[in-house]
Structure 1
Amino acid sequence: MHGLFGSKQNHRSISKALAKDLNTPVYALDLRNHGDSPHVKRHDYLSMASDVTHFINSHNLESPILVGHSMGAKTAMAVALQHPSLVSRIIVVDNAPVEAGLASSFPRYIQAMRKIEDSKLTKQAEADEILENYGGEKSLAVRQFLLTNLTRTHGSNVLRWRVPVQVLQNALDNMGGFPFHPDKERFEKPALFVRGTMSHYVPDETIPIIGRFFPLFRMKDIESGHWVISEKPHDFKDAVIEFMTPDE
């Protein structure tokens, strides 16, 4: 499960690699309001967890392992805490079960995306320029990631966003929240927390609360920023395989 503004395409390569190395099916999902999934006004972790639970049940998946990055990480945690009997273990990538504000870059991205939408552009290079100058994103890799959401209107050259920008703007506060309490919900099965050492989303002070929600958790640090899987795919794959390999 991908993060905000992402899609199932983000993790295509790592999904194929894990399917091969672990000899197991891997399902990459588009969460609601992303990729090819439907657009709906409600966008929060309880609704996304309900979507994922429906997917698990409708595909008759037995004891799946949930893997999620960022927004997808909190969604994975939400499913595990709501339906612990449904899930065998979880892998949480660079997020923690706490209420914490999103990086200040996300509201800037939204503003730039709104400007791009209103400008009725026909060239992706023009959209990239707005993201860099108006949105303040100097990283080409991050801009290219955001621009994967651009598509063309049917029968027109005008570029539009694949994601509902206004809905996601309204949901930014929800994305920083976490609607569970460790005295009420707990997942007492294996959990791997992978964090980027140069990211701020899983500071050391969150470790005690992680342990209250997920008493059997392990922590793995990878030298990267927030985009752990795309920045260090081999290190991430090794961490997952180690976690999945039974102890002698």
Structure 2
Amino acid sequence: MFLKRCGRHFLCSSRTLSLVSRAHIPKDVDAYSDVQSESAGRQTSSLQLSLPVVIVHGLLGSKTNWNVVASSMSTKIRQKVYAVDTRNHGESPHSEIMNYEVMADDIVEFIRHKRYDRVSLIGHSMGGKAVMTVALRDPDVVEKLVVVDASPTYSKRGEELKFLLEAMQQLDVSRIFSKTQADEILREDVPNDMIRNFLLTNLVRSRGTGRFHWKCNLSILYKSLPTMFDFPQLNSTFTGKTMFIGGARSGVIGDEQKGDIKRLFPSAEITTLDTGHWVHAEKPEEFTQIVVRFLTR
């Protein structure tokens, strides 16, 4: 991909951006409908139904997981929607520091770099905890908040995620010659097709050598799991408009978690869809409909 250096900025294209600085600004894909232009996303228009939206993926995910939903959402709200890669994921820089405070810093820096005063934030799982941290620490930049299958509590999915990372680390990618081969080997430990295909989105070929490698920073993510399972202790609340969308079959947002949600996010609405953990992927149309209704009212 052609890179253009401009000061500290490395622009990959009109739709992809990265900034090398102390804060790791995630690369982004802006998804927007034909009624939007690059400049229109930063201006008030009678056509626009909400402020710009930034979407943050979960652990081992990437911006590409949200392409379909982001495009549909952008068309419906007539506004810019950004799906970003967090540090140690996708195209964003790798870092030995991985916690929700620095991830929140990255997101705020991204918003400022895009020259927005306020945006609506959507985050799934790990991304949900990251956007909650932004809202609690920097509420002035958040118009509305949508948290998808995450809560401000210790995650019950810890052992499952640890097992998945271990399965990925045990795959000897130096001996892999195709994704089909990788899929067959990984199937022994991860028989669920949807989860296995999700993990394999991180397996890519190097342009120089043609060899496969994991795009995400597996070693740091594994080391950081205890921090990722937990949630920062913040003595603040976010009183802005907030929606929590849980997967009814995931068990992430249950009666136990609702007390903590209401304590930190007193205006929160809590709803569920008949899905597992990947709510937006399992029922994209229903999910998009709920979020669009929330963002535009």
With the shorter chain as reference, the TM-score category is over 0.9
Q: How far is 1:102 from its partner?
A: 3.0
Unaligned 5+ runs, structure 2: 1-55
Q: Are 2:215 and 1:159 equivalent residues in the alignment?
A: no
Residue 277 of structure 2 is matched in structure 1 by 226
* Counterpart AA for 2:218: V
Aligned partner of 1:41 among 96, 102, 122: 96
Distance in 1 separating the partners of 2:64 and 2:74? 15
> By percentage of residues, which structure has more helix?
1
Q: How far is 1:89 from its partner?
A: 1.3
Distance in 2 separating the partners of 1:245 and 1:65? 11
Q: Percent identity?
A: 35
Q: How far is 1:100 from its partner?
A: 2.6
Residue 199 of structure 2 is matched in structure 1 by 146
Distance in 2 separating the partners of 1:100 and 1:141? 21
Q: Is the 8 A contact 2:103 2:130 kept in 1?
A: yes
Q: Are 2:262 and 1:211 equivalent residues in the alignment?
A: yes
Distance in 2 separating the partners of 1:102 and 1:40? 24
* Counterpart AA for 1:82: R
Q: Are 2:108 and 1:57 equivalent residues in the alignment?
A: no
Per the alignment, do residues 17 and 100 of structure 1 end up closer, same or farther by CA in structure 2, a change over 3 Å counting?
A: same
Distance in 2 separating the partners of 1:155 and 1:85? 44
Residue 106 of structure 1 is matched in structure 2 by 161
Q: How far is 1:195 from its partner?
A: 0.3
User: Which structure is higher in RCO with an 8 Å CA cutoff and minimum separation 6?
Assistant: 1
Aligned partner of 1:67 among 122, 126, 132: 122
CA RMSD of aligned residues (A): 1.3
Q: How far is 1:168 from its partner?
A: 0.7
Q: How far is 1:118 from its partner?
A: 5.5
Residue 197 of structure 1 is matched in structure 2 by 248
Distance in 1 separating the partners of 2:293 and 2:173? 47
Residue 32 of structure 1 is matched in structure 2 by 87
Q: Please state whether the residue corresponding to 1:17 is helix, strand or coil.
A: helix
Q: How far is 1:119 from its partner?
A: 4.8
Scaled by the length of structure 2, the TM-score of the pair is 0.78
Residue 185 of structure 1 is matched in structure 2 by 236
Q: Is the 8 A contact 2:173 2:213 kept in 1?
A: no
Unaligned 5+ runs, structure 1: none
